[in-house]
Amino acid sequence: MEEQIIRTEYSEIMQKSYIDYAMSVIVSRALPDVRDGLKPVQRRTLYDMHELGIRYDRPYRKSARIVGDTMGKYHPHGDSSIYGALVVMAQDFKMGMPLVDGHGNFGSIEGDGAAAMRYTEARLMKLTQDAFLQDLDKNVVDFQPNFDETEKEPEVLPARVPNLLVNGSEGIAVGMVTSIPPHNLGEVLDAVIALIRDGRMSDADLLKYIKGPDFPTGGIVVNQKDLADIYATGSGKIRIRGKVEIEKMKGGKECLVIREIPYTMLGANIGKFLNDVAALVETKKTTDITDISNQSSKEGIRIVIELRKGADPNQILNLLYKKTRLEDTFGVNMLAVADGRPETLSLRRILEYHIDFQFEITTRKYQVMLEKELKKKEVQEGLIRACDCIDLIIEILRGSRSQKQVKDCLVHGITEGIRFKSAKSQKQAAKLNFTETQADAILEMRLYKLIGLEIEALLAEHKKTLDNIAVYSDILNNYDSMANVIIQDLKRMKKEFALPRRTALENAEEIVIEEQAPQAVPAVFLMDRFGYARMIDPAVYEKNRQAADEQNRYVFPVMTDSKVSIITDTGRQHLIRMSDVPLGKFREKGTPIDNLCNFESEKERPAAVMPLEKLEQKNLLFVTAQGMIKRVEGSELVVTRRTIAATSLNEGDELIAVTEAADEDQIVLQTRGGYLLRLNVSEIPFKKKAAAGVRGIRLGKEDFVCDVHRIRPGEAPSLTLGEKTIALNRLKIGTRDTRGTKQK
């Protein structure tokens, strides 16, 4: 066979393949269908349980059997995803109305996982059986082949309730996410009934029925005023608080008892909440909490926070709302698959899709039922006619040689080959015109059906059939009749399955807590040559002064609420808050300065470290490796930004030192080549921080400034080079941009 090469753009193939993959994940795995509110794995699991006959009124079956059967027939994506979906559908703290009745350990509200599938059992809930799986035999929904085309599965379950709202949904697809809160079944059904009766209802009218989310964990929605906009757009944020009671304790103390938690605190977040409360005490945000204990059980949530005597419980409660997940945000994004594509839906659109679906499945149901009644009517009419001429039919049966002869006579009046007792009988037989179905029913009729009471029963059944045909035809041809059927079904389900609302709704003010800034205290800042910084108490420093001065490159007093300026060799200034520097013991290592500053690279190193508040009154001298010098007023560096450019540098240059410099001071520039240049500071010009400066010393080839020495009035500092000691105040005073003195 000759090779065929198809030339195409690689990017187009990748784009098409990725879009196909994304849509497969969106439609076939991650997002629920707006009609039944189920993801494919949930739908397949429930349908498989229905096929296995695991009804609400029958014994439980092992979860492993359900998972294995579902995976083998309908969902070839691994047992963990199927069992995970089964577990969630059985958890009453996650689902507004659980769809599976679990028996065994199906996890807890505190995040404990379910037992392995071989240990647990399950069956369908009555709600699931009545509201999701009824009438599948009446062709109410389309069926499609399974993954290997050996079975048929429903494209959607004929859900009688808007499950997308009742149980909500959460899922992450490719490039999109759905997050729909659960709602109260009774309220949702009331809204559906009202919208069926009056399709022109406003969104505000709908909110009279569906007042807001109804989370299975209860709690309080505190931004009720935002719900109208959230339901109109299909997205927004709902603020939820836990329900807390204040109880009296012995000794006049009080405690906060959390009875209901926000829906977002489910699972491991309860443990995180306990840790957050403990952290408030450890960080001194509050000293009024003396103990916290989780006393939750099967009876419900009970978290007790004990307060010290005289504490204000309302103030502590506000602190918990503000600083912990006792008040949290539920992000709403009502995204679902509608008409085969993902769409963000408003509350009205979800209800409208559900109502359209109800009319569709009801129409298909009654069409099937009508066809069935019409067939019964045909048979019944044939049997009634047969009873009126039973003697003739018996004569035909006795005079025929085969069943085909009898059937041809009954249907078409063909009498050839049949022996009749008289010509009159043959003439009557020729007039027979039963239908094929009626003829089959007559041939299968038993003789006891000729008893008088049986004939009366047949006539009564025929009347009932005619009544049913009239009712079904009216339902199919009259919108109001069909609407009334749907409404009566919804009312029945509300009466049987609806529960009282669990989540309260209110409008609460945003909590504002005025935090007192920690009191500033004196400390001593230490930074060693490796760049580790810490603070210690002044008294500790006095006891270890010699060791502190010897082991650290920078040592100076600070206040714990102050800032420190760090100017690096790249010419940038970084400000760090002393509140970010640990205040600890003398022997502690401290925090790397790199973690507190926005250093550009690992090679950036501090050239000067000094308290920020002292810069205002100082003049600073900048010296670079290429011999550039300048003076800058310290006030230029007193800024609020954490990182600024403290000076400009020529290409390849770096900052060697930044030091205080008064007019009466002198400096000595030292080069790597051994040159020393003594200058009066007063001769060095003031420049702005954005300037590069002026040349301080003329350098030889490959020579550079390696150090700067400051000479204050009355001081006599010295410098040791090799074996030679040089008195710096005896060096000849030079001028800028000269070579200086070579020290041999």
| CB-CB contact of 342 with 335 (8 Å) | yes
Beta strand pairing call for 572-577 and 563-568: antiparallel
- The torsion angles phi and psi of 167, rounded to 5 degrees, stand at -105, -10
DSSP codes of every residue in 529-575: TTSEEEEE-HHHHHHTHHHHHHHEEEEEEEETT-EEEEEETTSEEEE
483/366 Cα distance (integer angstroms): 13
Cα separation of 11 and 550, whole Å?
64
The total number of residues shown for the chain amounts to 744
**At which residue do the structure tokens 């240059």 appear?**
653
Q: Which two tokens stand for residue 569?
A: 């060799």
- In this structure, what token pair is assigned to residue 125? 């809930």
Residue of 337, 333, 487, 366 whose CA lies nearest to 36: 337
Cβ contact 220:263 at 8 Å: no
Listed residue (734, 600, 616) closest to 680, CA to CA: 734
User: How many other C-beta atoms are found inside a 10 Å radius of the C-beta of residue 53?
Assistant: 10
For residue 267, give the DSSP letter. T
Pairing of strands 666-671, 705-711: antiparallel
Q: What is the dihedral of CA 38, 41, 44, 50, to 10 degrees?
A: -80
CB-neighbour burial class of residue 498 (10 A; exposed 0-12, middle 13-18, buried 19+): middle
Give the β-pairing of 61-62 and 100-103: unpaired
**Rounded-to-integer distance, Cα 392 and Cα 384, Å:** 14
Cα 334 to Cα 351: distance, rounded to the nearest angstrom: 12
Tokens representing 137 are: 């035999």
Sign of CA dihedral 100, 103, 109, 115: negative
Both structure tokens of 341: 């594509």
Taking Cα atoms as reference points, which of 704, 631, 635 lies closest to residue 669?
704
Angle between helix 479-497 and helix 185-197 axes, rounded to 10 deg: 170
Alpha-carbon torsion (216, 222, 228, 234), positive or negative? negative
Residue 693 CA to residue 701 CA, distance in Å, equals 21
Task: Supply 255's token pair.
Answer: 């405690």
- For helices 452-477 and 347-388, what crossing angle results, to 10°? 150
CB atoms within 10 A of CB 694: 14
Catalytic hit among 74, 119, 263, 554: 119
- CA-wise closest residue to 74 among 156, 123, 146, 148: 146
Q: Are 565 and 612 in contact (CB under 8 A)?
A: yes
Give the sign of the dihedral formed by CA 380, CA 384, CA 387, CA 392. negative
Q: Tell me, yes or no, if 532 is annotated catalytic.
A: no
Residue in the block written with tokens 């008088």? 452
- Give the sheet arrangement for strand 666-671, strand by strand: 705-711, 666-671, 675-680, 741-742
Best CA proximity match to 558, nearest among 580, 535, 531, 529: 535
The C-alpha atoms of residue 643 and residue 260 are separated, in whole angstroms, by: 46
- Taking only Cα atoms into account, the Rg of the chain, rounded to an integer number of angstroms, comes to 44
Burial of 509 (0-12, 13-18, 19+ CB in 10 A): exposed
Which residues are identified as catalytic?
A: 119
